[in-house]
A and B are shown apart, each in its own frame.
Chain A
Amino acid sequence: MNANAHEAVERAARESYGKLLAFLSARSRDIAAAEDALADAFGAALSDWPRAGIPANPDAWLLTAARRRLIDAARRRQVRQAAAPTLLTVAEEAEARFAEPAGLGDERLKLLFICAHPEIDAAVRTPLMLQTVLRLDAGRIASVFCVSPAAMARRLSRAKGRIREAGIPFEVPEQRELGTRLEAVLEAIYAAYGSGWDHVAGGDLGHGGLAAEAIYLGRLVAALLPDEPEARGLLALMLHCEARRPARRSAKAAYVPLAEQDVTLWSAPLAREGEDELAAAAKLGRIGRFQLEAAIQSVHHRRAETGATDWEAAALLYEGLVRIAPTVGALVGRAAAVAEARGAQTGVDLLDELPPEPVTSYQPYWAVRAHLLARLDRHQEAAHAFDRAIGLSEDPAMRAFLIGRAEAADAA
C-alpha cells in the first residue's frame, strides 16, 4: 500500500508534472510560484496518499492541492489585489476541466513557446524547458551544461521573472509567426540532445546526458503539432542519432566512429520510427534545417541495409543544409562528407575557407582536419591538428581515440 502510494506520486511527478505546471502558470504567469505550489502539493501527496489511499484522479488531487497553496501564498504575500481573483478563476476552471473527458488538456506546448520566447535569453531557454516541463533540478542542469549551479539558478529565476513582468502571453503563436517561433523551440530542444553527434568523424559527444529528455520533448512537440514538418524532422534526427547509441562505444567503452560502427548494434525500431517521422515531414512539403539533418542521418542509416554509405548523397544534403543554416557544425560536417565523396583534398579546401575565429576552439573542426591531413600524408600539419583536437576534447573516450589515431598517423 505504502509502496504503491509512493509509486503513484512518482508516476504523477513523471507523467503529469509538466502538464500541471503549464496549466497553473498559464493563468498566473508566475512559473516560480506555480513550481513552489506544485512542490508542496507533491509533498502533501507523499504524506497523504499512503494514509488516505491513492485518489481516483491523482492529477485533479494534485492540482487542487497546488491551487490551494497558490491562493494561500498569494494571500500571505499580499500581492496585487488582482492576483486573488485570477487564482480563483484558475481553481474554478480546473474543476470544470476535470469534469470534461479530455481532463487537463495539454498546455505544455504553450509553456515550451514561452521558454523559447524571443524575450528570453537564448542560453537559458533549454534549461528553462528542462526545469519547467520535465522538473529537472537546476543543479543537474548546471552540471550537464557545465555552468555554475548558483549562476544557473539565478538565470532561471531571472527568466521566470521576465516572463511574469514582461507579460509574455501563454499561447501558441499565430500561423504567421509560428515558423520562426517554432524554430526557437526546436533549437532549444536540440540543444538538450547535444548537437551534432555524428556530424563528423571525430564529433564530440557533447552533453549527451539529456538525450532521453530531449527526445521526450521532441515527441511532445511533434505530437502536438503534427502538421509542422520541422517538428517531425527534429524528432527524426534525434531518433536516428539515438538508434546508433549502442554502437558508439566498444565493449571496453572506447569511442567507435560512425564509419566503423557495427550496424547490427543500431536500434532498428528507433531508426524505423525516425524514417517514418521523416517521411511524414516530407509529405508536408516544406523543407527545413532539421529535415535536412535528419535526411543526412537517414543516408547513414541506409548503410545497415546496403553495406555502404552514399557519401555523395550526404554531401548534397549538407550543401542544402549550409545554405539555410550555416552553423559551424554544419560547415564542418559538409567538409567531412565532401571529403568522403570527392577526396580528402576537397574537404581540406572547404575547411580552409572557414573563418578562423569560430573554429579556433571548436573540437570537431580539428578532429576532421587531422583525419583528412593524415590521409593526405601531411604529417606535420596532421600532428598539429590532432594535438588541438585532443586538447579540446571533453570526453575521455574521444580523447583516447584521437590519441590512438595521432600515434598511428605518426608511425605511418
Chain B
Amino acid sequence: MQYMLQFYSTPEEFAAREDPEGHKAFRASFVPYMKALQDAGIIVVGAGLQKPGTATSLRINRGGGHHVQDGPFADTKEQLAGFFIIDVPDMDTALKWAARYPGGPGGGVEVRPALTQADLEVLHKQLADA
C-alpha cells in the first residue's frame, strides 16, 4: 500500500532553517531520517519544499475562471514542508515511520493512504451501477 507522509512545520521551524545554525541542526536530523527511509527501500517519491511564502495558489472561481494569489492554499499556522510517498504493508507501519519524523513541537505528520487501482475499480463499478 502506498501512503503519503505530509510533513507540517510551524513558522518558527521554517524561520529556524534560514539561519546557518538552524539549518545545520535541521540537516543533522532530517538527512539521517531520509537515509533510513531510503535504506528501508520504501520511498516511492518525495521532496522537501521551499518555504510557504514561495507558493502561488490558483483557486477556481464558481462562475468560471481563476483567482491566482501569492501564498499557500490553506491559511493555517502550520504549513506543508515536504512529503514522501512510501510503500509499506499497512497504516501501522506508515505511522511508525511518521513517528520517526524529526520535526519540532507544534508540527507533525499527516499520513494518508493513496487510492489504489482496486479502489478506483470499486469506485468505477459503483458509479456504473448507480
Instruction: Please report A residues at the B interface, Cβ cutoff 8 Å.
Output: 146-148, 151, 360-361, 386-394, 396, 399, 403, 407
Residue B66 lies at the interface, judged by CB distance under 8 Å to chain A:
no
**13 A-B contact pairs sorted by A residue (CB < 8 Å):** A146-B95, A146-B99, A147-B95, A151-B91, A386-B32, A387-B31, A387-B35, A389-B32, A391-B36, A392-B36, A392-B100, A393-B102, A407-B28
Closest to A400 in B: B29
- Tell me if B37 counts as interface (CB < 8 A to partner A): yes
- Provide the residues of chain B in CB contact with A146, threshold 8 Å: 92, 95-96, 98-99
A407 to B34, CA, bound (A): 18
B46 to chain A, nearest CB (A): 14
Q: In the complex, are the beta carbons of B36 and A388 less than 8 A apart?
A: yes
- State A396–B100 Cα separation when bound (angstroms): 9
User: Quick one: closest A residue to B95, CB to CB?
Assistant: A146
A147 x B32 contact (CB < 8 A)? no
Q: Complex formed: what's the CA distance from A147 to B90 in Å?
A: 11
Given contacts A387-B32, A403-B28, contact A396 B91 (CB under 8 A): no
Number of residues of chain B lying within 8 A (CB) of chain A: 19
The residue in chain B whose Cβ has the minimal distance to the Cβ of A152 is B92
Which of B34, B37, B92, B102 lies in contact with A147, CB distance below 8 A? B92
Q: Nearest-CB distance from B124 to chain A (Å)?
A: 26
- Contact A396/B102 with A387-B35, A391-B32 known, Cβ cut-off 8 Å: yes
> Is there a chain A Cβ closer than 8 Å to B115's Cβ?
no
The one of B34, B92, B95, B98 in contact with A391, judged by C-beta atoms closer than 8 angstroms, is B34
The 4 closest A-B pairs by CB, nearest first: A391-B36, A391-B32, A390-B32, A387-B32
**Interface contact tally, CB-CB below 8 A:** 49
Which residues from chain B contact A399 at a C-beta distance below 8 Å?
A: 29, 102
B45 at interface (Cβ–Cβ under 8 A)?
no
CB distance from B23 to the nearest CB of A (A): 14
Interface flag for B21 (CB, 8 Å): no
Chain A residues near B102 (CB-CB < 8 A): 393, 396, 399
Query: Does B121 sit within 8 A of A, measured CB to CB?
Result: no
Q: A387-B31, A391-B32 are in contact. Are A361 and B91 (CB under 8 A)?
A: no
Residue of A nearest to B31 (CB): A387
Q: Which residues of B contact A388 (CB under 8 A)?
A: 32, 35-36, 39
Q: Chain B 12-40, CB within 8 Å of chain A: the 1/0 string? A: 00000000000000001101111111011
Give the distance in Å from the alpha carbon of A360 to the alpha carbon of B37 in the complex: 10
Which chain B residues numbered 29 to 80 have a C-beta less than 8 Å away from chain A? 29, 31-37, 39-40
Tell me, rounded to whole Å, the shortest Cβ–Cβ distance linking A195 to chain B.
15
Whole-angstrom distance between the Cβ of B20 and the nearest chain A Cβ: 16
A252 to chain B, nearest CB (A): 16
**Residues 87 to 130 of chain B near chain A (Cβ within 8 Å):** 91-92, 95-96, 98-100, 102
Q: Which residues of A contact B95 (CB under 8 A)?
A: 146-148
Q: Is B100 in contact with A394, judged by CB distance below 8 angstroms? A: yes
Q: Are B28 and A361 in contact (CB under 8 A)?
A: no
A residues in contact with B36, CB < 8 Å: 361, 387-388, 391-392
User: Of all chain A residues, which has the CB nearest B91?
Assistant: A148
Chain B residue contacts of A387, Cβ below 8 A: 31-32, 35-36
- How distant is B49 from chain A, measured CB to nearest CB, in Å? 20
- List chain A residues, Cβ under 8 A from B37: 391
Measured between beta carbons, the chain B residues less than 8 angstroms from A360 are: 39-40
10 other contacts beyond A146-B98, A360-B40, with CB at 8 A cut-off?
Answer: A148-B91, A151-B92, A361-B36, A361-B40, A390-B28, A391-B32, A391-B34, A391-B36, A392-B36, A407-B28
- The interface residues of chain A lying within 8 Å CB-to-CB of B31 are 387
Q: Which residue of B lies closest to A150 (CB)?
A: B91
How many angstroms from the CA of A391 to the CA of B102 in the assembled complex? Answer: 8
**Residues B32 and A394 in contact, CB atoms below 8 Å apart:** no
Contact B91 A391 (CB under 8 A): no
Question: Which chain B residues border A392 with CB–CB below 8 Å?
Answer: 36, 100
Complex: A360 Cα to B34 Cα, angstroms: 14
The minimal Cβ–Cβ distance linking B36 to chain A, given in whole angstroms, is 3
Q: With A and B bound together, what is the CA distance between A390 and B39 in angstroms?
A: 13
Q: Please give, as numbers and ranges, the residues of chain A lying within 8 Å of B34 by CB-CB distance.
A: 391
Distance of A389 Cα from B31 Cα, bound (Å) = 12
A394 proximity list for chain B (CB < 8 A)? 99-100
Closest to B36 in A: A391
CB distance from A144 to the nearest CB of B (A): 11
Q: Is the CB of A390 within 8 A of B29?
A: yes
Determine how close the nearest CB of chain A comes to the CB of B64; give it in whole angstroms: 39
Whole-angstrom distance between the Cβ of A245 and the nearest chain B Cβ: 21
What B residues does A386 contact at CB under 8 A? 32
- Could you say which residues of chain B place their CB within 8 Å of the CB of A390? 28-29, 32-33
Minimum CB–CB distance for B87 against chain A, Å? 14
Contacts of B39 in A (CB 8 A): 360, 388
Cβ of A391 and Cβ of B100 under 8 Å apart?
yes
